[in-house]
Chains A and B, each alone.
Chain A
Amino acid sequence: METRLRATLPDQELLKLYEQMVLSREFEESCAEQYTKGHITGFLHLYSGQEAVAVGATAGLHKDDYILSAYREHAQAIVRGADPRRVMAELFGKATGVCKGKGGSMHLFDPALNFMGGYAIVGGQFPIAVGLAFAAKYRQEDRIAACFFGDGAVNQGTFHESLNWARLWELPVLFICENNFYGIGTEVHRSSALASIHKRTCGYDIPSEKVDGMDVVAVYKAIKYAAEKVRETSHPYFIEAVTYRFRGHSMADPAKYRSVAEHEVWKSRDPIPALAKRLVAEEITTDEHLAGIRNKCLALVQEAVKFAEESPWPEDSEVYNDIYV
Protein backbone atom coordinates (compact mmCIF):
# COMPACT_ATOMS: atom_id res chain seq x y z
CA MET A 1 0.00 0.00 0.00
CA GLU A 2 1.29 3.43 -0.91
CA THR A 3 1.43 5.74 2.06
CA ARG A 4 -0.16 9.14 1.78
CA LEU A 5 2.48 11.63 0.69
CA ARG A 6 1.37 14.20 3.24
CA ALA A 7 2.08 11.73 6.02
CA THR A 8 5.75 11.65 5.09
CA LEU A 9 6.99 15.11 4.16
CA PRO A 10 5.86 18.75 3.97
CA ASP A 11 4.44 19.84 0.61
CA GLN A 12 7.48 21.91 -0.32
CA GLU A 13 9.78 18.94 0.27
CA LEU A 14 7.61 16.69 -1.85
CA LEU A 15 7.67 19.23 -4.66
CA LYS A 16 11.42 19.44 -4.34
CA LEU A 17 11.70 15.67 -4.81
CA TYR A 18 9.60 16.02 -7.92
CA GLU A 19 11.72 18.86 -9.24
CA GLN A 20 14.96 16.97 -8.61
CA MET A 21 13.68 13.92 -10.47
CA VAL A 22 12.58 16.04 -13.40
CA LEU A 23 15.87 17.92 -13.49
CA SER A 24 17.76 14.60 -13.45
CA ARG A 25 15.64 13.19 -16.25
CA GLU A 26 15.89 16.27 -18.43
CA PHE A 27 19.60 16.48 -17.83
CA GLU A 28 20.06 12.87 -18.96
CA GLU A 29 17.86 13.22 -22.01
CA SER A 30 19.80 16.30 -22.98
CA CYS A 31 23.06 14.37 -22.55
CA ALA A 32 21.77 11.78 -25.01
CA GLU A 33 21.14 14.53 -27.52
CA GLN A 34 24.55 16.08 -26.98
CA TYR A 35 26.16 12.67 -27.38
CA THR A 36 24.40 12.16 -30.69
CA LYS A 37 25.69 15.55 -31.80
CA GLY A 38 29.22 14.53 -30.86
CA HIS A 39 29.58 17.08 -28.06
CA ILE A 40 29.80 14.38 -25.42
CA THR A 41 32.16 11.53 -26.27
CA GLY A 42 33.52 8.43 -24.56
CA PHE A 43 31.30 6.30 -22.33
CA LEU A 44 27.97 7.77 -21.36
CA HIS A 45 25.73 5.84 -18.93
CA LEU A 46 22.37 7.46 -18.39
CA TYR A 47 20.19 7.27 -15.31
CA SER A 48 16.72 7.73 -16.83
CA GLY A 49 14.24 5.55 -14.95
CA GLN A 50 16.26 5.29 -11.74
CA GLU A 51 15.72 8.87 -10.50
CA ALA A 52 13.64 7.89 -7.49
CA VAL A 53 16.68 6.16 -5.99
CA ALA A 54 19.16 9.06 -6.14
CA VAL A 55 16.54 11.64 -5.22
CA GLY A 56 14.84 9.70 -2.41
CA ALA A 57 18.15 8.53 -0.98
CA THR A 58 19.81 11.94 -1.01
CA ALA A 59 16.80 13.41 0.76
CA GLY A 60 17.16 10.78 3.45
CA LEU A 61 20.80 11.66 4.14
CA HIS A 62 22.41 14.62 5.87
CA LYS A 63 24.46 17.14 3.91
CA ASP A 64 27.56 16.12 5.85
CA ASP A 65 27.19 12.48 4.89
CA TYR A 66 29.59 11.24 2.25
CA ILE A 67 28.17 9.95 -1.01
CA LEU A 68 30.07 7.66 -3.38
CA SER A 69 28.81 6.09 -6.54
CA ALA A 70 29.71 4.27 -9.72
CA TYR A 71 29.82 5.72 -13.24
CA ARG A 72 26.06 6.28 -13.68
CA GLU A 73 26.21 9.19 -11.28
CA HIS A 74 25.19 12.47 -12.95
CA ALA A 75 21.92 12.59 -11.04
CA GLN A 76 23.52 11.78 -7.71
CA ALA A 77 25.94 14.68 -8.13
CA ILE A 78 23.32 17.15 -9.32
CA VAL A 79 20.79 16.23 -6.65
CA ARG A 80 23.53 16.68 -4.06
CA GLY A 81 23.94 20.21 -5.32
CA ALA A 82 26.50 20.12 -8.11
CA ASP A 83 25.95 22.92 -10.63
CA PRO A 84 24.36 21.35 -13.74
CA ARG A 85 26.35 23.77 -15.90
CA ARG A 86 29.66 22.54 -14.53
CA VAL A 87 28.56 18.91 -14.73
CA MET A 88 27.60 19.38 -18.38
CA ALA A 89 30.90 21.17 -19.01
CA GLU A 90 32.70 18.17 -17.51
CA LEU A 91 30.86 15.88 -19.93
CA PHE A 92 31.89 18.16 -22.79
CA GLY A 93 35.51 17.88 -21.57
CA LYS A 94 35.78 21.59 -20.88
CA ALA A 95 38.08 23.39 -18.45
CA THR A 96 35.10 24.69 -16.48
CA GLY A 97 33.91 21.17 -15.66
CA VAL A 98 33.69 20.00 -12.05
CA CYS A 99 36.95 18.07 -12.54
CA LYS A 100 38.46 20.44 -15.13
CA GLY A 101 37.52 18.02 -17.88
CA LYS A 102 39.85 15.32 -16.55
CA GLY A 103 37.20 13.00 -15.18
CA GLY A 104 34.32 13.11 -17.63
CA SER A 105 30.94 11.47 -17.21
CA MET A 106 32.14 8.64 -14.99
CA HIS A 107 34.27 10.62 -12.54
CA LEU A 108 32.31 13.51 -11.06
CA PHE A 109 33.60 14.75 -7.70
CA ASP A 110 32.90 17.64 -5.38
CA PRO A 111 34.37 17.53 -1.88
CA ALA A 112 32.54 20.72 -0.86
CA LEU A 113 29.31 18.75 -1.30
CA ASN A 114 30.79 15.60 0.27
CA PHE A 115 30.23 13.97 -3.09
CA MET A 116 33.29 11.75 -3.01
CA GLY A 117 33.27 10.48 -6.51
CA GLY A 118 32.06 8.42 -9.36
CA TYR A 119 34.18 5.31 -9.89
CA ALA A 120 34.32 3.28 -13.08
CA ILE A 121 35.95 0.10 -11.88
CA VAL A 122 32.94 -1.99 -10.86
CA GLY A 123 33.16 -2.32 -7.06
CA GLY A 124 36.08 0.09 -6.69
CA GLN A 125 34.14 2.46 -4.46
CA PHE A 126 33.35 -0.07 -1.69
CA PRO A 127 36.64 0.04 0.24
CA ILE A 128 36.91 3.78 -0.26
CA ALA A 129 33.51 4.28 1.35
CA VAL A 130 34.64 2.09 4.25
CA GLY A 131 37.80 4.19 4.62
CA LEU A 132 35.84 7.44 4.62
CA ALA A 133 33.53 6.01 7.27
CA PHE A 134 36.56 5.00 9.33
CA ALA A 135 38.01 8.51 9.06
CA ALA A 136 34.67 10.03 10.09
CA LYS A 137 34.39 7.76 13.11
CA TYR A 138 38.03 8.22 14.12
CA ARG A 139 37.69 11.99 13.91
CA GLN A 140 34.37 11.81 15.78
CA GLU A 141 32.51 13.54 12.97
CA ASP A 142 28.77 13.20 12.81
CA ARG A 143 28.53 11.67 9.37
CA ILE A 144 28.08 8.39 7.60
CA ALA A 145 29.21 7.16 4.18
CA ALA A 146 26.51 6.25 1.67
CA CYS A 147 27.80 3.98 -1.06
CA PHE A 148 25.75 3.47 -4.24
CA PHE A 149 26.45 0.56 -6.57
CA GLY A 150 24.71 -1.69 -9.08
CA ASP A 151 23.48 -5.26 -8.97
CA GLY A 152 26.53 -6.25 -10.99
CA ALA A 153 28.95 -5.03 -8.33
CA VAL A 154 27.84 -7.53 -5.71
CA ASN A 155 29.96 -10.28 -7.19
CA GLN A 156 33.19 -8.35 -6.89
CA GLY A 157 35.65 -9.31 -4.18
CA THR A 158 35.60 -5.77 -2.81
CA PHE A 159 31.87 -6.09 -2.09
CA HIS A 160 32.42 -9.02 0.23
CA GLU A 161 35.66 -7.69 1.67
CA SER A 162 34.08 -4.32 2.42
CA LEU A 163 30.85 -5.61 3.94
CA ASN A 164 32.85 -7.86 6.21
CA TRP A 165 35.24 -5.04 7.10
CA ALA A 166 32.54 -2.45 7.76
CA ARG A 167 30.76 -4.80 10.15
CA LEU A 168 33.98 -6.01 11.78
CA TRP A 169 35.21 -2.48 12.52
CA GLU A 170 31.68 -1.22 13.22
CA LEU A 171 31.76 1.55 10.67
CA PRO A 172 28.92 3.85 9.63
CA VAL A 173 28.44 2.77 6.01
CA LEU A 174 25.07 2.69 4.27
CA PHE A 175 25.27 0.36 1.28
CA ILE A 176 22.70 1.21 -1.40
CA CYS A 177 22.33 -1.32 -4.20
CA GLU A 178 20.51 -0.03 -7.26
CA ASN A 179 19.17 -3.27 -8.65
CA ASN A 180 18.15 -2.44 -12.21
CA PHE A 181 18.28 -6.15 -13.04
CA TYR A 182 21.17 -5.91 -15.47
CA GLY A 183 24.92 -5.60 -15.47
CA ILE A 184 25.34 -4.48 -19.07
CA GLY A 185 23.49 -7.33 -20.81
CA THR A 186 23.59 -9.94 -18.06
CA GLU A 187 20.49 -10.33 -15.95
CA VAL A 188 20.91 -10.84 -12.21
CA HIS A 189 19.80 -14.47 -12.24
CA ARG A 190 22.51 -15.21 -14.80
CA SER A 191 25.25 -13.71 -12.61
CA SER A 192 24.18 -14.21 -9.00
CA ALA A 193 23.53 -17.61 -7.41
CA LEU A 194 21.19 -15.87 -4.98
CA ALA A 195 19.28 -13.34 -7.03
CA SER A 196 17.66 -11.77 -3.99
CA ILE A 197 20.54 -9.39 -3.42
CA HIS A 198 19.63 -7.99 -0.03
CA LYS A 199 19.73 -11.49 1.44
CA ARG A 200 23.42 -11.74 0.69
CA THR A 201 24.33 -9.58 3.68
CA CYS A 202 23.43 -12.27 6.22
CA GLY A 203 26.93 -13.70 5.91
CA TYR A 204 28.20 -10.43 7.32
CA ASP A 205 25.52 -9.89 9.94
CA ILE A 206 24.41 -6.66 8.27
CA PRO A 207 20.70 -5.81 8.38
CA SER A 208 19.15 -5.27 4.98
CA GLU A 209 15.92 -4.25 3.34
CA LYS A 210 14.43 -4.21 -0.10
CA VAL A 211 12.55 -1.15 -1.28
CA ASP A 212 10.60 -0.13 -4.36
CA GLY A 213 13.10 1.98 -6.22
CA MET A 214 10.43 3.45 -8.48
CA ASP A 215 8.74 5.13 -5.51
CA VAL A 216 10.71 8.16 -4.39
CA VAL A 217 8.91 8.47 -1.09
CA ALA A 218 9.44 4.81 -0.26
CA VAL A 219 13.14 5.20 -1.00
CA TYR A 220 13.31 8.34 1.10
CA LYS A 221 11.68 6.61 4.06
CA ALA A 222 13.85 3.52 3.83
CA ILE A 223 17.07 5.49 3.51
CA LYS A 224 16.14 7.90 6.27
CA TYR A 225 15.42 5.03 8.61
CA ALA A 226 18.57 3.15 7.61
CA ALA A 227 20.79 6.24 7.81
CA GLU A 228 19.56 7.00 11.32
CA LYS A 229 20.22 3.39 12.34
CA VAL A 230 23.74 3.67 10.95
CA ARG A 231 24.26 6.96 12.73
CA GLU A 232 22.97 5.68 16.07
CA THR A 233 24.68 2.32 16.10
CA SER A 234 27.74 2.93 13.92
CA HIS A 235 26.96 -0.32 12.17
CA PRO A 236 26.53 -0.76 8.44
CA TYR A 237 23.11 -1.18 6.87
CA PHE A 238 22.09 -2.35 3.42
CA ILE A 239 19.28 -1.21 1.15
CA GLU A 240 18.39 -2.86 -2.13
CA ALA A 241 16.37 -0.47 -4.29
CA VAL A 242 14.64 -2.28 -7.13
CA THR A 243 14.57 -0.10 -10.20
CA TYR A 244 15.00 -0.08 -13.96
CA ARG A 245 17.00 1.85 -16.48
CA PHE A 246 14.94 3.02 -19.43
CA ARG A 247 17.92 3.26 -21.75
CA GLY A 248 20.64 0.82 -22.67
CA HIS A 249 23.66 0.28 -20.43
CA SER A 250 25.46 3.09 -22.20
CA MET A 251 24.82 5.08 -25.35
CA ALA A 252 26.53 2.27 -27.27
CA ASP A 253 23.98 -0.32 -26.14
CA PRO A 254 20.65 -0.80 -27.98
CA ALA A 255 19.51 -3.17 -25.16
CA LYS A 256 18.47 -6.04 -27.40
CA TYR A 257 18.64 -8.49 -24.49
CA ARG A 258 15.42 -7.09 -22.97
CA SER A 259 11.92 -7.65 -24.27
CA VAL A 260 9.73 -4.76 -25.33
CA ALA A 261 7.04 -6.09 -23.01
CA GLU A 262 9.35 -5.96 -20.00
CA HIS A 263 10.39 -2.45 -20.89
CA GLU A 264 6.75 -1.37 -21.24
CA VAL A 265 5.84 -2.71 -17.81
CA TRP A 266 8.59 -0.68 -16.21
CA LYS A 267 7.86 2.39 -18.31
CA SER A 268 4.36 2.32 -16.89
CA ARG A 269 5.95 2.61 -13.46
CA ASP A 270 8.04 5.68 -14.38
CA PRO A 271 8.73 7.35 -11.01
CA ILE A 272 8.10 10.88 -12.30
CA PRO A 273 4.49 10.62 -13.55
CA ALA A 274 3.84 8.27 -10.63
CA LEU A 275 4.73 11.00 -8.16
CA ALA A 276 2.93 13.64 -10.22
CA LYS A 277 -0.27 11.63 -10.07
CA ARG A 278 -0.10 11.33 -6.31
CA LEU A 279 0.76 15.00 -5.82
CA VAL A 280 -2.29 16.01 -7.81
CA ALA A 281 -4.56 13.38 -6.27
CA GLU A 282 -3.70 14.58 -2.78
CA GLU A 283 -4.19 18.15 -3.97
CA ILE A 284 -0.67 19.12 -3.02
CA THR A 285 -0.30 20.76 -6.40
CA THR A 286 -1.83 21.10 -9.82
CA ASP A 287 -0.86 19.84 -13.26
CA GLU A 288 -0.16 23.43 -14.30
CA HIS A 289 2.27 23.93 -11.46
CA LEU A 290 4.06 20.68 -12.32
CA ALA A 291 4.33 21.80 -15.93
CA GLY A 292 5.93 24.98 -14.65
CA ILE A 293 8.49 22.93 -12.72
CA ARG A 294 9.31 20.98 -15.85
CA ASN A 295 9.82 24.18 -17.85
CA LYS A 296 12.12 25.52 -15.16
CA CYS A 297 14.21 22.32 -15.32
CA LEU A 298 14.33 22.42 -19.11
CA ALA A 299 15.63 25.98 -18.92
CA LEU A 300 18.32 24.97 -16.42
CA VAL A 301 19.45 22.17 -18.70
CA GLN A 302 19.49 24.43 -21.76
CA GLU A 303 21.58 26.89 -19.81
CA ALA A 304 23.93 24.07 -18.83
CA VAL A 305 24.41 23.07 -22.47
CA LYS A 306 25.01 26.67 -23.48
CA PHE A 307 27.55 27.10 -20.69
CA ALA A 308 29.34 23.91 -21.71
CA GLU A 309 29.39 24.88 -25.38
CA GLU A 310 30.81 28.31 -24.67
CA SER A 311 33.39 27.13 -22.15
CA PRO A 312 37.07 26.87 -23.11
CA TRP A 313 38.93 23.62 -23.64
CA PRO A 314 41.64 22.76 -21.10
CA GLU A 315 45.13 24.05 -21.96
CA ASP A 316 47.58 21.39 -23.15
CA SER A 317 49.82 22.26 -20.21
CA GLU A 318 47.05 20.99 -17.90
CA VAL A 319 48.01 17.35 -18.53
CA TYR A 320 50.89 17.56 -16.08
CA ASN A 321 48.93 19.33 -13.37
CA ASP A 322 47.11 17.68 -10.46
CA ILE A 323 49.01 14.39 -10.56
CA TYR A 324 51.17 15.10 -7.52
CA VAL A 325 50.61 17.61 -4.74
Chain B
Amino acid sequence: MKQLVELMVNNESYELAVEPQTTLLEVLRNDLGLTGTKEACGTGECGSCTVLIDGRPMLSCLTLALDCSQRDIVTIEGLAEGERMSPVQQAFQDCGAIQCGFCTPGMILSATALLEETPRPTEEQIKKALEGNLCRCTGYNKIIEAVKKASGQIAPDQIIPDKIISEQEQESQ
Protein backbone atom coordinates (compact mmCIF):
# COMPACT_ATOMS: atom_id res chain seq x y z
CA MET B 1 0.00 0.00 0.00
CA LYS B 2 1.31 3.42 -0.93
CA GLN B 3 2.21 5.85 1.80
CA LEU B 4 2.66 9.59 1.65
CA VAL B 5 6.09 11.11 2.12
CA GLU B 6 7.33 14.66 1.94
CA LEU B 7 10.81 14.94 0.48
CA MET B 8 13.06 17.98 0.46
CA VAL B 9 15.29 17.61 -2.60
CA ASN B 10 17.64 20.38 -3.72
CA ASN B 11 15.69 22.86 -1.61
CA GLU B 12 12.39 21.97 -3.22
CA SER B 13 9.66 20.17 -1.41
CA TYR B 14 7.77 17.29 -3.01
CA GLU B 15 4.84 15.30 -1.68
CA LEU B 16 4.66 11.81 -3.10
CA ALA B 17 2.81 8.56 -2.56
CA VAL B 18 5.30 5.69 -2.61
CA GLU B 19 5.31 1.95 -1.99
CA PRO B 20 7.24 1.09 1.21
CA GLN B 21 9.92 -0.82 -0.72
CA THR B 22 10.71 2.15 -2.99
CA THR B 23 14.25 3.37 -2.58
CA LEU B 24 15.23 7.02 -2.61
CA LEU B 25 17.14 6.27 -5.82
CA GLU B 26 13.98 5.05 -7.55
CA VAL B 27 12.03 8.11 -6.45
CA LEU B 28 14.74 10.50 -7.60
CA ARG B 29 15.09 8.93 -11.02
CA ASN B 30 11.59 7.69 -11.79
CA ASP B 31 9.29 10.13 -10.00
CA LEU B 32 11.30 13.35 -9.87
CA GLY B 33 13.19 12.90 -13.14
CA LEU B 34 16.50 13.63 -11.45
CA THR B 35 18.49 11.13 -13.47
CA GLY B 36 21.88 12.52 -12.46
CA THR B 37 21.87 9.99 -9.62
CA LYS B 38 22.94 6.65 -11.11
CA GLU B 39 22.37 3.04 -10.26
CA ALA B 40 25.01 0.43 -10.94
CA CYS B 41 25.27 -2.32 -8.33
CA GLY B 42 22.20 -1.50 -6.27
CA THR B 43 23.80 -3.19 -3.27
CA GLY B 44 26.11 -0.62 -1.72
CA GLU B 45 29.39 -1.38 -3.42
CA CYS B 46 29.91 1.24 -6.12
CA GLY B 47 28.77 4.63 -4.83
CA SER B 48 27.26 5.80 -8.12
CA CYS B 49 23.93 6.41 -6.33
CA THR B 50 25.53 8.69 -3.70
CA VAL B 51 23.46 11.68 -2.59
CA LEU B 52 23.91 14.03 0.36
CA ILE B 53 21.41 13.47 3.14
CA ASP B 54 21.69 16.18 5.80
CA GLY B 55 25.07 16.99 4.30
CA ARG B 56 26.48 13.47 4.55
CA PRO B 57 27.16 11.21 1.57
CA MET B 58 24.82 8.23 1.64
CA LEU B 59 23.71 5.53 -0.76
CA SER B 60 20.27 6.18 -2.22
CA CYS B 61 20.03 2.56 -3.43
CA LEU B 62 19.99 1.33 0.18
CA THR B 63 17.79 4.10 1.58
CA LEU B 64 14.01 3.89 1.63
CA ALA B 65 12.19 6.96 0.40
CA LEU B 66 9.89 6.66 3.44
CA ASP B 67 12.90 7.06 5.74
CA CYS B 68 13.82 10.40 4.14
CA SER B 69 10.98 12.59 5.28
CA GLN B 70 12.20 15.76 6.99
CA ARG B 71 15.72 15.23 5.74
CA ASP B 72 17.61 17.53 3.48
CA ILE B 73 18.56 15.74 0.25
CA VAL B 74 21.03 17.13 -2.29
CA THR B 75 21.62 15.46 -5.64
CA ILE B 76 24.09 16.38 -8.35
CA GLU B 77 21.41 18.60 -9.93
CA GLY B 78 21.44 20.73 -6.78
CA LEU B 79 25.08 21.78 -6.84
CA ALA B 80 25.30 24.29 -9.66
CA GLU B 81 24.02 27.83 -9.18
CA GLY B 82 22.16 28.58 -12.35
CA GLU B 83 24.67 28.15 -15.16
CA ARG B 84 27.62 28.31 -12.79
CA MET B 85 29.04 24.96 -11.73
CA SER B 86 30.12 24.39 -8.13
CA PRO B 87 33.89 24.61 -7.49
CA VAL B 88 34.13 20.80 -7.30
CA GLN B 89 32.22 20.34 -10.56
CA GLN B 90 34.40 22.95 -12.26
CA ALA B 91 37.58 21.31 -10.96
CA PHE B 92 36.46 17.90 -12.25
CA GLN B 93 35.93 19.39 -15.68
CA ASP B 94 39.21 21.35 -15.64
CA CYS B 95 41.28 18.37 -14.55
CA GLY B 96 39.79 15.89 -17.01
CA ALA B 97 38.46 13.86 -14.09
CA ILE B 98 35.42 12.83 -16.14
CA GLN B 99 35.44 10.25 -18.89
CA CYS B 100 32.20 8.34 -19.40
CA GLY B 101 30.75 10.32 -16.49
CA PHE B 102 28.79 7.53 -14.88
CA CYS B 103 30.62 7.69 -11.55
CA THR B 104 30.95 11.47 -11.67
CA PRO B 105 27.78 12.57 -9.82
CA GLY B 106 28.59 10.27 -6.90
CA MET B 107 32.27 11.25 -6.93
CA ILE B 108 31.45 14.94 -6.91
CA LEU B 109 28.95 14.62 -4.07
CA SER B 110 31.40 12.58 -1.97
CA ALA B 111 34.10 15.14 -2.68
CA THR B 112 31.75 18.04 -1.86
CA ALA B 113 30.93 16.48 1.51
CA LEU B 114 34.63 15.93 2.21
CA LEU B 115 35.56 19.55 1.48
CA GLU B 116 32.69 20.78 3.61
CA GLU B 117 34.16 18.95 6.60
CA THR B 118 37.87 19.11 5.71
CA PRO B 119 38.56 22.11 3.48
CA ARG B 120 42.19 21.15 2.80
CA PRO B 121 42.34 17.35 2.84
CA THR B 122 45.54 15.36 2.46
CA GLU B 123 45.79 12.84 -0.36
CA GLU B 124 45.14 10.05 2.16
CA GLN B 125 41.99 11.79 3.35
CA ILE B 126 40.79 12.24 -0.23
CA LYS B 127 41.34 8.55 -0.97
CA LYS B 128 39.55 7.50 2.20
CA ALA B 129 36.58 9.78 1.49
CA LEU B 130 36.26 8.52 -2.09
CA GLU B 131 36.97 4.84 -1.44
CA GLY B 132 33.29 4.01 -1.85
CA ASN B 133 33.05 5.54 -5.31
CA LEU B 134 34.28 3.23 -8.04
CA CYS B 135 35.40 4.58 -11.39
CA ARG B 136 36.06 2.25 -14.32
CA CYS B 137 37.55 4.92 -16.60
CA THR B 138 39.85 7.52 -15.13
CA GLY B 139 42.24 5.49 -13.01
CA TYR B 140 41.44 7.89 -10.12
CA ASN B 141 44.56 10.10 -10.40
CA LYS B 142 42.74 12.93 -12.12
CA ILE B 143 39.88 12.68 -9.68
CA ILE B 144 42.27 13.11 -6.77
CA GLU B 145 43.87 15.99 -8.61
CA ALA B 146 40.47 17.59 -9.13
CA VAL B 147 39.66 17.41 -5.42
CA LYS B 148 43.03 18.96 -4.62
CA LYS B 149 42.31 21.72 -7.10
CA ALA B 150 38.83 22.35 -5.73
CA SER B 151 40.39 22.70 -2.28
CA GLY B 152 42.87 25.26 -3.61
CA GLN B 153 45.86 22.96 -3.16
CA ILE B 154 46.84 22.98 -6.82
CA ALA B 155 47.06 26.27 -8.67
CA PRO B 156 45.06 26.25 -11.93
CA ASP B 157 48.21 26.72 -14.03
CA GLN B 158 49.74 23.55 -12.56
CA ILE B 159 47.17 21.45 -14.34
CA ILE B 160 48.07 20.37 -17.82
CA PRO B 161 44.94 19.89 -19.89
CA ASP B 162 44.63 16.64 -21.82
CA LYS B 163 44.93 18.46 -25.15
CA ILE B 164 48.39 19.73 -24.34
CA ILE B 165 49.49 16.33 -23.06
CA SER B 166 48.44 14.67 -26.30
CA GLU B 167 50.19 17.39 -28.32
CA GLN B 168 53.33 16.85 -26.25
CA GLU B 169 53.10 13.13 -26.83
CA GLN B 170 52.73 13.64 -30.56
CA GLU B 171 55.75 15.93 -30.61
CA SER B 172 57.90 13.41 -28.78
CA GLN B 173 56.98 10.62 -31.18
Tell whether A and B belong to one assembly: no
